[in-house]
Chains A and B, each alone.
Chain A
């Protein structure tokens, strides 16, 4: 096999959500892991390596799944990986304290004709409950090796590695048991399998019997792959599938997929009856007692809101201190670069590096502490099991909007940063739900827009009105998102919401390692974007904001601030800003705010810096906010300030959002639609508010 050719063994780690799969992956591979590079796969797949007894193994951690018939994008990734890349072996991680449901996935792996090893995880829990599981007997009944482990306590790992390598080398060759489906189903499966064996190419991803069972279940993966096979023979097989399905439907008055599932569970419970001695009683655990409060009709929502409030409070206040450090560090780096710049003849390269790259990357990286804390809080909520309860609490509300119960999780993240929020939509099962959530996500005002509100609210509103004003802006965003989501769901994405069905794991104490990994993985995605996408875009925007340069004569006699203003005014950005002024005037913008808005496409907080430059009140790097507020107060009305904030809230997602949107939705069209749609929405709303406000002022005046 692989070993003789010098190749690594490829082993996939699969299992139900919450089966401890990722903990096992970390325990087996330690630090030797990285994100695998699979083009076209939207979900990051982690790979890691371990060596045992001379055998090199490349382990792939697949997203959790309940069944080989996939429902969500996450599950499709797991399924397609197994089907299309055919690993040498599948390790199915089974929560041994919850055997029957976890073995359901195993019964489907058995049919794939890929070697399987079952890792009975959480063995310590089984023992502590005094349950008795005869793994040797189960191993014989399923025809696969079984290893008892506890990934959490890191026990049984060597035994698992030994079992994996022995199976890979063919030293322990058990023949997987053929799951019996009962007379009626078998009567449909057997002829169909024979037909498929004759008509499908021998290297078809599903073995014939498995293909027959899956087709009868109505599984789209097998039907699609059959459709991809050339030749008229396959059409005959498809007709036979339809006949078999309707026959079974008539016999059982139930969907064949449910009948097949029922037979699999029948096989599993038969096996468990013989091999397992455990007492399943209606347990009232500590977990249930916590749920008495956290999921109650009366206290559930307040508890949820309190947790959310705490999360954002901590993220924004504790994040402020390190944010200051990062800002200072980048300012220092800019100054230092200027001080040591060895080529006085090339000031534009210095400007490119300092004002383009450093300022651009710094402007994004400055949010890292806040985002890190936010992600840590979210990891804490996920790892303790609270997120599932929050989905329960929010389901009724989300259902009314026409979104999935889990949609609120990306929305929550969206208050921190839209980019990771877009990634978080992968957990949604239907594409309709996912796209409608993604399209409205920028309306959940991200952390980068906060400096804009702080500036304008600070300048135009009395202290007593500042907090309500800020809340108003955020609420407008939420309300617009709700309305837009409803609109999308009744037009572009009409149809029923994918129902929420999920496992409710008991509360557990999260491990430090798990928390660290969850937080770090997401934060790193964000930081990496700042190092790649943002560098390129910063350079581009720097170019637009710097060229063409005004001639030297027009700058004579001006101080630094005025020169900067002249330069920006003269640049392409400034010109476009002036060009769109007639369009922007009805919504309360002048050419300065319009130009700053263009700059904000790079990153929202650039708006403030550019406004500073355009009013020639602060040098490019040194901020002089009080003077800017003073100036803004003299120049704009309170109504204009409110309009600017409204427009910034709703319009033009930043470049990082657009890139992430295109990547996550799989098409630039969706990113373009989002860009245009949200900007039109912003324009319409702000126009109504500004013109309405003007009219009211005239009435009053």
Chain B
């Protein structure tokens, strides 16, 4: 399915990209390759994805051109809770 059909918080594996050769390479150079797991943190047209601890912003025009395979029965990502935040806060202090 397309990335745009994923729900917020859902995890999926990147499969392939539609579009010119620049698109795939652009995504690859920022760390999104076929086979990479991604989690949709937010999708309001453009999307914010999480992949290997990084946050990546994907524009509106791009979201519909990425094909993914949803990971079934994946546990929902932990909701923000105070104790988890205390440990990982201030990432780049």
Contact = CB atoms under 8 A, between A and B. Distances in A.
B29 A254 contact: no
A679 B7 CA distance: 48
A382 interface: no
Contact of A502 (B57, B65, B80): B57
Nearest to A253: B16
Contact of A501 (B58, B77, B91): B58
A503 B59 contact: no
Interface string A291-333: 1100111001000000000000000000000000000000000
A66 B90 CA distance: 24
A288 interface: yes
Contact of B80 (A152, A280, A281, A289): A289
A289 B45 CA distance: 20
Interface in B28-79: 28-31, 33-35, 39, 41-42, 44-46, 48, 50, 52-62, 65, 77-79
Residue in A286, A297, A392 with the greatest tally of chain B CB atoms within 10 Å: A392
A134 interface: no
B37 to A, nearest CB: 10
Given A101-B30, A104-B31, A255 B21 contact: yes
B28 A506 contact: no
Contacts of A253: 16
Contacts of B93: 124-125, 128, 508-509
Contacts of A254: 16, 24, 34
Residue in B55, B91, B93 with the greatest tally of chain A CB atoms within 10 Å: B91
Contacts of A496: 19, 61
A284 B48 contact: no
Contact of B29 (A261, A289, A296, A508): A261
A100 B4 CA distance: 26
A265 B33 contact: yes
Contact of A286 (B24, B59, B89): B89
Nearest to A298: B44
A122 B92 CA distance: 8
Contacts of B30: 66, 101, 501-503
A261 B33 contact: yes
B86 to A, nearest CB: 9
A392 to B, nearest CB: 5
A368 B50 CA distance: 41
A71 B53 CA distance: 24
A295 B85 CA distance: 19
Contacts of B54: 98, 101, 503-504
A501 B57 contact: yes
Interface string A394-406: 0110010000110
Contact of B41 (A125, A288, A404): A288
A440 B56 CA distance: 29
B12 to A, nearest CB: 14
Given A257-B24, A284-B80, A288-B80, A504 B55 contact: yes
Q: How large is the interface on A (under 10, 10 to 19, 20 to 34, 35 or more residues)?
A: 35 or more
A283 interface: yes
Contacts of B79: 284
Given A399-B60, A501-B26, A506-B91, A291 B50 contact: no
Contact of A499 (B26, B28, B45, B90): B26
B23 interface: yes
Nearest to B32: A501
Nearest to B19: A499
Nearest to A289: B80
A395 B46 contact: yes
A207 interface: no
A500 interface: yes
B48 A405 contact: no
B36 to A, nearest CB: 9
Given A258-B33, A405-B60, A501-B56, A396 B45 contact: yes
Contacts of B28: 257-258, 261-262, 265
A344 B65 CA distance: 75
A396 B85 contact: no
Interface string A206-240: 00000000000110000000000000000000000
B16 A395 contact: no
A97 interface: yes
A497 B61 contact: yes
Contact of B62 (A97, A282, A285, A500): A500
A43 interface: no
A285 B91 contact: yes
Contacts of A255: 21, 24-25
Contacts of A71: 22, 26
Contacts of B42: 291, 295-296
Interface in B3-27: 16-17, 19, 21-27
B11 to A, nearest CB: 9
9 contacts: A97-B92, A128-B93, A257-B24, A280-B53, A288-B80, A396-B44, A396-B46, A500-B57, A504-B56
Given A101-B30, A395-B59, 20 more contacts: A69-B29, A101-B31, A254-B34, A255-B21, A282-B77, A283-B88, A284-B78, A286-B90, A289-B80, A296-B42, A399-B59, A399-B60, A404-B59, A499-B59, A499-B65, A503-B57, A504-B55, A504-B57, A505-B92, A508-B92
Q: Which 9 A-B pairs have the closest CB atoms?
A: A500-B59, A261-B28, A67-B29, A396-B45, A504-B55, A499-B62, A395-B46, A66-B29, A101-B31
Interface of A: 66-67, 69, 71, 97-98, 100-101, 104, 122, 124-125, 128, 152, 217-218, 253-255, 257-258, 261-262, 265, 280-289, 291-292, 295-297, 300, 388, 391-392, 395-396, 399, 404-405, 496-506, 508-509
